[in-house]
C-alpha cells in the first residue's frame, strides 16, 4: 500500500464542499500521513544533527506552496486521486513535440488542438518551454529559469489558456523538470560566478583538479565527442564546476539542503501551471559519489522519493515520470523499493522495450526482446510505462550484455553490428540512421534518426523501391502496433504519424551541427498533413494506421495496465508474441513478424489459447476474419496481428 492509497482513503471522508476548510484540513492530514517518511528521507540525506531548521523550513514551505495552488487544481487533485492510478487507463495516447517546431509557439499549438483530437491524442509532452541561453542550449535542457517561459514560445497567459483548454478537453500535459542541472546563465550560476560562496555551494565547484580527477576515474562521459570530461573551468570564479552534460549545464549539488528546498519550490510552481505529469529529466544523475559512476545511487532514489512525497502533500493529482535511460534492472528501481515501493515515480520510460525492438528490427529475431522482457523485475501495481519507439534523444543500446552473450553473440561485436546496421555502414541495410557520440577507440556509440528513416522509408523513396516502401510502412505500423498494445502509455513522436524522414538541416546550424540528435527533430510538415485525406501516400497510409491503432486501443479495456501481460514462447525466433488479459474473454493476442519472409505459427497452439476457431482467426487491426488453410497461421513479412478471442 503506497502513500497515494493512504491519501485516497483520507480524502474519502471529505465534507461535500472541500474548498470550505476541507482542503486546508486535508493538507494537514496529507502532511501527517507523509510526515514520518518525509522526516526519514530528509534526515537520511541531510543528517538531523545539522539540519533540523532546514526540515522546519521544509514544513513551512509546503504550507506556503499549498496555498499557491489554485482551487481548480486542488479539486482536480481530489478527482485524480479518487480515480485510482488514472494514468494506467487504456484511454491515454501521447505525443511528444517541440512547440516551436510543431506550431511556432503556444498560441499556434492552441490552434492545432483539432489535429490532436482527430488523431485521438490526449496526452502531450511539450519539450522545454523555459528560458534558456540564446546560443547552444541542448534543446532547452539548459534551464535559465524553472518558472519563466521563453518569450519565443509565448507567455504565462498563453500557457494558462492552453492548460485550461487541455483540462476542458481531457488532455494530460507533461512538462520537463530539468532537476539535475541549470544553465550557466541561471541566476544561481551567475551569483556563483561572481564569487558568492552561498551560490557556489548550489553546484559542485572545486578550487583545483584534485577532487574532479578522483571523480573522473569512475565517471563515464555522456557527450564524449562534444563535451569530453565532466568538469569545466570557470575563470571568473577560478574554480572547476561539475558539468556531466554540456559545459553550459552545471550540475546541482543536492548535498546542500537549500538546493532541495529551492528546487522543490520550482517543482510546485511548475505543477501549479497546470502540469499533470512532471518529467524528471536525467534523475539518475542526481547524487554524485567518488569511486562510482554517480548514476542510480541510493541517495538519488531517496531524493526523488522526497520530491514525490512533498509534491503529494501539495498536489497529489500530479505524478512523476522517471527519465532514466539506464540499464533495465535500474529503470524499475525508479518506481521505488522497500518502504518506498510505489512512492518514487509513477511512470518510467520503457527504454528496455524500445532498445530491444530496434535490436529485433536489425536482427529480425526476437530472442533478446523476449529474454530481456522476461527478466525485467516486476513493477509495483501502482506504476506504469511510457512505451515509445523514438524520442528527441538518441537510441542507447540499453540491454544487458549477459543476455546478448547467453544467445551466443559477442556483446561488443553485436553492438558494433547494430551501429553498422542503423548508421549506414552496411550496404544491404535499409536504415538511414546517424551515429551519435561514436567513440572509435571503444566502438561505443548511440544511434539517431527518425523512425521512418531508420526503418527504410527514406532509402526506399530515394531508390524508388516500391517493395522497400511497403516494407518500411509495415515495420512502422508493426512497431507502433506493439507499443499501442503494451502495458503503459504509448507515446507517438511528432512526425512519426506521417512518416517524416531525417531532417539534415541541423548540419548547417553552428549551434546544432555537432549534435546529430537534431536529425530527428523536424519542423512539422503541415503541407503533407493538408494532403493526408486526399492522396494515397506513405504519409496518409501511416497516418490512417496510427489513427486506427488509437481508436482500437480505446475500445479495449484489457489494454489498461493491470499487470496483465504475458510474453509467449511461440517457437519461432522471428515472432514476438504477447497476450493481454490471458484467460479472459476480452483478452488480446499480439503477434509480430520481424522477418522479411513469411513466418508461421502453430494454429493448434492458437486454438488452445482461444484465438483460432473453426479454422479462422479475427484480426482487430484489419477488422477482418481470415481462414487458415493448413495447420499453420501465416504472417506476411513485418505483419502485425491483434487477435481477439473467436
Ligand atoms: C536527457 O537525456 C534529455 O532527454 C536530453 O535531451 C538532455 O540532453 C539530457 O538529459 C540533459 O538534460 O539523461 O537518462 O544520451 O539521451 O543524456 C539519460 C543523451 C538522459 C541523452 C541522455 C538523457
Q: How far away, in angstroms, is 282 Cα from ligand 1 center? A: 6
Residue 19 pLDDT grade (very low, low, confident, very high; cuts 50, 70, 90): low
Least confident of 170-174, 298-302, 375-379, 531-535: 531-535
CA 17 vs CA 9, 47, 63, 68, 75: distances in Å: 17, 41, 21, 19, 10
Q: Report the residue among 323, 448, 517 best suited for mutation to probe ligand 1: largest number of ligand atoms under 8 A from its CB.
A: 323
Distance 349 CA to ligand 1 centre (A): 12
The predicted-structure confidence for 274-304, as pLDDT tens digits, reads as follows: 999 999 999 999 999 999 999 999 999 999 9
Q: Is residue 312 a contact partner of residue 4, using CB atoms and an 8 Å limit?
A: yes
At residue 287, what are phi and psi to the nearest 5 degrees?
Answer: -120, 135
CA dist., res. 603 & res. 49, Å (int): 68
Q: Which of 210-214, 437-441, 627-631 has the highest mean pLDDT?
A: 210-214
The yes-or-no verdict on residue 140 having pLDDT over 90 is yes
Helix (H, G, I), strand (E, B) or coil at 631: coil
Q: Among 228-242, 416-430, 437-451, 592-606, which stretch is predicted with the lowest mean pLDDT? A: 437-451
Q: Which residues pair with 386 in a beta bridge?
A: 349, 489
Please name the residue whose Cα sits nearest to atom 1 of ligand 1: 282
User: Tens digits of per-residue pLDDT, 447-494?
Assistant: 999 999 999 999 999 999 999 999 999 999 999 999 999 999 999 999
Confidence grade of residue 439 (pLDDT, cut at 50, 70, 90)? confident
CA 539 to ligand 1 center in whole angstroms: 29
Tell me how far the alpha carbon of residue 224 lies from the centroid of ligand 1, in angstroms. 13
Nearest CA to ligand 1 atom 4: 393
Characterise 238 by phi-psi region: left (phi > 0), alpha (psi -120 to 50), beta (else).
Answer: left
The winner for highest mean pLDDT among 23-27, 478-482, 627-631 is 478-482
Q: What per-residue string of b and e applies to 473-512 under the rule 16 or more CB within 10 Å gives b?
A: bbbbbbbbbbbbbbbbbbbbbbbbbbbbbbbeebeeeeeb
pLDDT (0 to 100) of residue 17: 67
In the prediction, which pLDDT does 440 show?
A: 79
Atom of ligand 1 minimally distant from the CA of 446: 15
User: Distance, CA 84 to ligand 1 centroid (Å)?
Assistant: 31
Residue 398's pLDDT is 85
Q: Calculate mean pLDDT across residues 618-626.
A: 95
d(CA 411, CA 184): 38
Q: Which atom of ligand 1 is nearest to the CA of 396?
A: 15
Atom of ligand 1 nearest to the CA of 180: 12
Exactly one of 184, 281, 503, 595 is catalytic; name it.
281
> What integer pLDDT is reported at residue 12 of this predicted model?
74
**CA dihedral defined by 437, 504, 523, 145, rounded to 10 degrees?**
40
Ligand 1 atom closest to 245 (CA): 11
Active site residue 323: yes
Higher pLDDT, 179 or 14: 179
Q: Which domains does the chain have, with CATH numbers?
A: 187-251 (3.90.400.10), 564-644 (2.60.40.1180)
What is the CB < 6 Å shell around ligand 1? 138-139, 141, 178, 222, 245, 281-282, 284, 323-325, 392-394, 396
Q: Dump pLDDT digits (tens) for 186-199.
A: 999 999 999 999 99
Which pLDDT score, from 0 to 100, does residue 145 have? 98
CB 261 within 8 A of CB 61: yes
458: nearest Cα among 501, 429, 522:
501
For ligand 1, the distance from its centroid to the CA atom of residue 251, given in whole angstroms, is 13
Nearest to 76 by CA among 322, 310, 272: 272
List the residue whose alpha carbon is closest to atom 21 of ligand 1.
393
- Best mutation site among 175, 226, 230, 325 for ligand 1 pocket (most ligand atoms within 8 Å of CB): 325
Question: CB of 149 within 8 A of CB of 161?
Answer: no
Q: What is the number of the ligand 1 atom nearest to the C-alpha of 282?
A: 13
Q: Is the pLDDT of residue 11 over 90?
A: no
Q: For this structure, is 281 an active site residue?
A: yes
pLDDT at 533 over 90: no
Cell reading at 403:
543476455
Amino acid at each position: 500500500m503506497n502513500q497515494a492509497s493512504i491519501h485516497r482513503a483520507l480524502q474519502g471522508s471529505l465534507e461535500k464542499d472541500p474548498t470550505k476548510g476541507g482542503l486546508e484540513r486535508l493538507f494537514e492530514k496529507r502532511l501527517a500521513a507523509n510526515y514520518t517518511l518525509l522526516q526519514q528521507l530528509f534526515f537520511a540525506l541531510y543528517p538531523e544533527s545539522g539540519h533540523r531548521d532546514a526540515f522546519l523550513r521544509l514544513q513551512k514551505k509546503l504550507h506556503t506552496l499549498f496555498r499557491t495552488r489554485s482551487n481548480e487544481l486542488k479539486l482536480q487533485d481530489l478527482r485524480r486521486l479518487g480515480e485510482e492510478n488514472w494514468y494506467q487507463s487504456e484511454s491515454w495516447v501521447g505525443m511528444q513535440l517541440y512547440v516551436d517546431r510543431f506550431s511556432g509557439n503556444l498560441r499556434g499549438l492552441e490552434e492545432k488542438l483539432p489535429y490532436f483530437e482527430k488523431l485521438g491524442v490526449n496526452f502531450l509532452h511539450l519539450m522545454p518551454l523555459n528560458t534558456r541561453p540564446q546560443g547552444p542550449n541542448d534543446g532547452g535542457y539548459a534551464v535559465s529559469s524553472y518558472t519563466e517561459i521563453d518569450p519565443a514560445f509565448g507567455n504565462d497567459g498563453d500557457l494558462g489558456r492552453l492548460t485550461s483548454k487541455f483540462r476542458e478537453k481531457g488532455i494530460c500535459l507533461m512538462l520537463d523538470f530539468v532537476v539535475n542541472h541549470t544553465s550557466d546563465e541561471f541566476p544561481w550560476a551567475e551569483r556563483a560566478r561572481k564569487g558568492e560562496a552561498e551560490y557556489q555551494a548550489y553546484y559542485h565547484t572545486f578550487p583545483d583538479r584534485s577532487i574532479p580527477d578522483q571523480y573522473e576515474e569512475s565517471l563515464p562521459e555522456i557527450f564524449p565527442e562534444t563535451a569530453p570530461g565532466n568538469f569545466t573551468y570557470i575563470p571568473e570564479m577560478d574554480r572547476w564546476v561539475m558539468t556531466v552534460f554540456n559545459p553550459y549545464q552545471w550540475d546541482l549539488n543536492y548535498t546542500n539542503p537549500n538546493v532541495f528546498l529551492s528546487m522543490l519550490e520550482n517543482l510546485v510552481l511548475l505543477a501549479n501551471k497546470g502540469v499533470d505529469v512532471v518529467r524528471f529529466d536525467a534523475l539518475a544523475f542526481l547524487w554524485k559519489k567518488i569511486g562510482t559512476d554517480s548514476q542510480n545511487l541510493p541517495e538519488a532514489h531517496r531524493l526523488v522519493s522526497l520530491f514525490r512525497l512533498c509534491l503529494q502533500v501539495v498536489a497529489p493529482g500530479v505524478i512523476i515520470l522517471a527519465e532514466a535511460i539506464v540499464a533495465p534492472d535500474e529503470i524499475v528501481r525508479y518506481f521505488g523499493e522497500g518502504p518506498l515501493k510505489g512512492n518514487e515515480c509513477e511512470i518510467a520510460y520503457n527504454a528496455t522495450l524500445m532498445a530491444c525492438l530496434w535490436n529485433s528490427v536489425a536482427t529480425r529475431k526476437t530472442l533478446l526482446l523476449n529474454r530481456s522482457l522476461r527478466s525485467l523485475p516486476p513493477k509495483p501495481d501502482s506504476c506504469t510505462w511510457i512505451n515509445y519507439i523514438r524520442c528527441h534523444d538518441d537510441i542507447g543500446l540499453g540491454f544487458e550484455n549477459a543476455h546478448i552473450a547467453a544467445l551466443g553473440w559477442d556483446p561488443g561485436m553485436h553492438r558494433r553490428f547494430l551501429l553498422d546496421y542503423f548508421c549506414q555502414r552496411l550496404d544491404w541495410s535499409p536504415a538511414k540512421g546517424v551515429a551519435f557520440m561514436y567513440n572509435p577507440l571503444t566502438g561505443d556509440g548511440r544511434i539517431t534518426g527518425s523512425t521512418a528513416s531508420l526503418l527504410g522509408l527514406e532509402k526506399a523513396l530515394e531508390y524508388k523501391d516500391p517493395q522497400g516502401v511497403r516494407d518500411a510502412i509495415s515495420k512502422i505500423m508493426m512497431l507502433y502496433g506493439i507499443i499501442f498494445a503494451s502495458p503503459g502509455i504509448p507515446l507517438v513522436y511528432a512526425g512519426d504519424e506521417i512518416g517524416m524522414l531525417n531532417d539534415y538541416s541541423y548540419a548547417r546550424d553552428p549551434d546544432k551541427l555537432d549534435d546529430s540528435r537534431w536529425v530527428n527533430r523536424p519542423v512539422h510538415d503541415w503541407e503533407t498533413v493538408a494532403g493526408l485525406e486526399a492522396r494515397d501516400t506513405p504519409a496518409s497510409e501511416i497516418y490512417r494506421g496510427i489513427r486506427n491503432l488509437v481508436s482500437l486501443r480505446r475500445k479495449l479495456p484489457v489494454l489498461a495496465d493491470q499487470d496483465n501481460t504475458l510474453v509467449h514462447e511461440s517457437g519461432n525466433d522471428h515472432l514476438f508474441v504477447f497476450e493481454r488479459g490471458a484467460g479472459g474473454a476480452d483478452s488480446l493476442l499480439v503477434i509480430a513478424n520481424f522477418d522479411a519472409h513469411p513466418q508461421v505459427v502453430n494454429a493448434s497452439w492458437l486454438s488452445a489459447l482461444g484465438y483460432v476457431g473453426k479454422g479462422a482467426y479475427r484480426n482487430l487491426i484489419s477488422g477482418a476474419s481470415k481462414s487458415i488453410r493448413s495447420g499453420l497461421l501465416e504472417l506476411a513479412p513485418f505483419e502485425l496481428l491483434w487477435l481477439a478471442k473467436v
